[in-house]
Amino acid sequence: MKSPRERIVETTFELFAKQGYNSTGINQIISEAEVAKASFYQHFKSKEDLCVEFLNVRHEYWFGELNIFLAKEKDSKSKIIKAFDFLVYMNEKENFRGCSFLNILSEIPMDNTKILSVIQSHKSDLRNLFSELINDDELSDHIYLLFESSIIESQLFKSNELLEKSKKIITNLIQ
C-alpha cells in the first residue's frame, strides 16, 4: 500500500495531466488521493509546495527513464539520436501529454520563482546532457532546441511526425 504522500503525488500527476495546474484544487487532490486534510498539510504547506514536489519527482522519473533508455548506446551520437526515440516512447506511454514542466510553466505567473526555478533547473539539466554528449556548444544548443520544440509540437498535434523529422536533421548534423 502506498503512503499518503505517494498517493498525493500520484494523484497530482494524474490531475495536473488531465486538468492542468490551475484547475486542480487541493480539496480534489485530497479526495481523490483518499487522504485526510491534516495528512495533506502534514506533507505540503501549500499547492505551490506540492507542485514543487511533483516537479521534483517528475524530474527524477523522467531522467531515470531517459538514462535507462540510453544505457545500451555506446557512443554520444547514438545517445543523442536515441534521445529522440525516447520522446516517441514517452508519447506512446503517456498519450502525448507533453512536458509536465512546460505545461506548468504556461499556467504560473512568471514571478512565481519557487516553481519557476524548479522548471529552469530541469531544462538546464537537459541542456547540459546534450552539452556533455557533444563538445560543441552551438551544436548541442541546436539539438536541445530541436528536442524541446519536438516535445511541444508532438503534444500539440498528437503526432511524432515532426519529432521524426527533427531526428533526421540531428542525424545529418552529427554524422
Q: Which domain holds residue 36?
A: 1-44
Report the helix count and the strand count for the chain, using DSSP H and E.
Answer: 9, 0
Q: What is the CATH number of the domain that holds 18?
A: 1.10.10.60
Give whole-number Cα distances, 70 to 24, 56, 148, 166, in Å: 34, 21, 18, 18
Q: pTM (2 decimals)? A: 0.94
Residue listed under C-alpha cell 495531466: 17
Give how many domains the chain has, as a whole number.
2
54 and 20 within one domain:
no
Closest CA to 58 of 110, 109, 102: 102
Write out pLDDT tens, residues 113-128. Answer: 999 999 999 999 999 9
pLDDT score of 105: 97
Mean residue pLDDT across the chain? 96
pLDDT score of 1: 85
6 and 59 within one domain:
no
pLDDT < 70 regions, the chain: none
Write out pLDDT tens, residues 67-90. Answer: 999 999 999 999 999 999 999 999
CA distance 125 to 10: 23
70 and 156 within one domain:
yes
